[in-house]
Amino acid sequence: MRGSRSVMRIQATLAVATGCLAAAACGATATPQSGQPAQSRQATQQPSQSPTQPAQPARSGSTSPRPSPTAAPPSASSAPAGPPPFSAKISKVTRDRLRHSWRPGCPVPIGDLRMVTMTYWGFDDRPHTGELVVHKDATDAVVTVFGRLYGWRWPIYKMEPVDAYKGDDFDSIEADNTSAFNCRPATGSSNWSQHAYGRAIDINPRENPYVSANGTVAHKNARRFARRPVHAPGVINPGDRVVKAFQRVGWEWGGYWSGIKDYQHFSKSGG
């Protein structure tokens, strides 16, 4: 009996060992002890991913995560509109536009005159459209200079042909009007002014008056501007950028004349 019991114990031991080896080969886990929770096979085989590891790229055919929404850029229409760029149009002048400022015997025929319609910057800090009548050979210089003035936002009070004042130079100056062609003699002379050829421009005549040799001015509204330099909008001073802009296109400034000073006046050939 004792021998047979020994044989039975050996056989039982072999059976247990054989089962353990089979279980190890199949990846089975040992039966947990009482009171301890069992772990799933998936948890033991796939450890959790560290939060510092980068996310895996999405596989082909899978849905990628959508990016977080961002604010749409403002549309062009929502941006505040700036002032229009400088523009100039040159056209021929008809007789009816010069009923008061041109007459037979003027030193320039109507066919040699041009209307320059262009933008200018006003004293109200806004763009406006004005007109100057000049000789056809002066149009390029005029457009060049007034384009610079507009770019600088240098103000001009008004810009109309002198015909708006029936050709009266005094009334045009009283209105602080910037003008060019007018078939008239030079002030205090019997000779034709350069205005009569369309080769002279008077700019802001109130802020830039004609000052006689004794220091007087003909327009009361211009008295406080009789001496230079004057630092105020629309004023032209010796050596400033307005004077230099005209000098670059070969025009002279009346503010440099000896004796009398014509601060408003720019001309192609003087006078």
The helix/strand/coil state of 147 is: helix
Considering only the C-alpha atoms of the chain, give the largest distance between any 2 of them, rounded to a whole number of Å.
163
pLDDT tens series, the chain, 271 aa: 444 444 445 444 444 444 434 444 434 444 444 444 434 434 334 444 444 444 444 444 444 444 444 555 555 555 668 899 999 999 999 999 999 999 999 999 999 999 999 999 999 999 999 999 999 999 999 999 999 999 999 999 999 999 999 999 999 999 999 999 999 998 878 899 999 999 999 999 999 999 999 999 999 999 999 999 999 999 999 999 999 999 999 999 999 999 999 999 999 977 7
DSSP H stretches of helix in the chain:
2-26, 41-45, 139-151, 169-174, 241-248
Secondary structure class of 139 (helix, strand, coil): helix
Q: In the chain, count of helices (H) and strands (E)? A: 5, 8
Res 75: pLDDT: 53
- Structure token digits, residue 256: 């440099």
Instruction: Let me know: does 112 contact 98? Beta carbons within 8 Å.
Output: no
Q: What distance in Å separates the CA atoms of residue 151 and residue 205, rounded to the nearest whole number?
A: 21
pTM: 0.70
Helix (H) or strand (E) holding 232: none
* pLDDT for position 212: 94
- The residue whose two tokens read 């327009």 is 219
Residue whose C-alpha is closest to residue 155's, from 68, 260, 235, 239: 235
Task: Say if CB 134 and CB 195 are below 8 A apart.
Answer: no
pLDDT at 188: 77
Q: How far apart are CA 250 and CA 252, in angstroms?
A: 7
Q: What is the CB neighbour count within 10 angstroms for residue 112?
A: 15
- Beta strand 127-135 with 252-253 is unpaired
How far apart, in whole angstroms, are the C-alpha atoms of residue 230 and residue 183? 31
In this prediction, residue 182 carries a pLDDT of 97
Listed in sequence order, the residues at least 6 apart from 233 whose beta carbon sits closer than 8 Å to its beta carbon are 123, 155, 207
CA 202 to centroid of chain Cα atoms: 29
| CA–CA distance, 259 with 91 (Å, rounded to integer) | 38
